[in-house]
Amino acid sequence: MRFLHPLSNSRDAPSCPPFSDRGDGRPDGRAPPFASDHRFRPGGSSPLYFLYRIGSIDAILTAGSGRVRRPSPPTSVDFFQRRVKRSFKDHHRKLEGEAMRLYDVTMTLTHSMPTYPGEPGPALTPVKRMKKGDPANVSALSLGLHTGTHVDAPIHFIEGAPGVEALPLEILCGPARLVRIDDPEAVRPGELERAGLNGATRVLFQTRNREWIKASRFHEDFVYIAPEAAEWLVARGVRLVGIDYLSVEAFGAPQPRTHQTFLHAGVVVIEGLDLSLPPPGDYDLRCLPLKIAGADGAPARVVLAGG
């Protein structure tokens, strides 16, 4: 059998006698597993096929000097296949790492953060301090359950309904659509129609509220979700909604229709999201509220991955 020089297309290149592979080779002359690629077909002039038959980089090096010797023992072709697969996997993993971005859309709890009128903000009280001779620093945290980024439980507006500990993780975590809302007053059905949610089951609304989310003063004229929009979302199978201020309900609404529409339908409500950084698009949502038995709500750490 005659093999072409790997660095030349000339028919006058040095030849190499065949050798008998054991185990991983092809002693019957059959093509390798990846022979569907023309670069690996028998008789081809590709360095890859030459490498497959010879089984050693050393053979290519010696071929450059006009001498081709048979390696002993021959290198398994499986080794080269694994090497190529590993290279592709490493490259793919690198691309994923470069493309993937994490957005922490959780408000930082501080004593100066905005809170809904009539509800207590966070207070961190020292219990033990090392500078006073204690072996560790220990603090006590006090806050309202609807402070900052938080999740509403059904019992928040439905007497006798489950608390926050009963919220299903399969709704709190999964693919989510971040939608930009330009209406300066409310999220309405008309803009939802134009947004093209296309079957999204978790929807987060980015509004002009994002300009106030880090301010210390509470703004009463925040963008809310209109009751008609809540009905529109429920009718289309949405299981989770989130907004970038402290309530989905209009401030001073005579009846909590938006909350009741969502909670009666089992829709999880996330309020107080900091959506000032992520652009609109599709993300992987992770929302993990504190597991407090019987609680009407709970602070949550919320992260978006993607973009």
Is 47:6 a contact under the CB 8 Å cutoff? yes
Which of 25, 63, 67 lies closest to 45 in space, CA to CA?
63
The C-alpha angle 82, 53, 13, rounded to 5 degrees, equals 135
What is the identity of the amino acid at 11?
Answer: R
CA 273 to CA 204: how far, in whole Å?
A: 9
3-state helix, strand, coil in the chain (%, to 5): 25, 20, 55
Q: Quick check: is 5 catalytic?
A: no
Q: Write phi, then psi, for 191 (nearest 5 degrees).
A: -70, -30
- What are residue 306's DSSP bridge partners? 283
Type of residue numbered 143: L
Tokens of 175: 């693919």
Question: Which one from 5, 146, 156, 259 is the annotated catalytic residue?
Answer: 156
Estimate to the nearest angstrom the gap between the alpha carbon of 282 and the chain centroid: 9
Which residues have a catalytic role annotated?
156
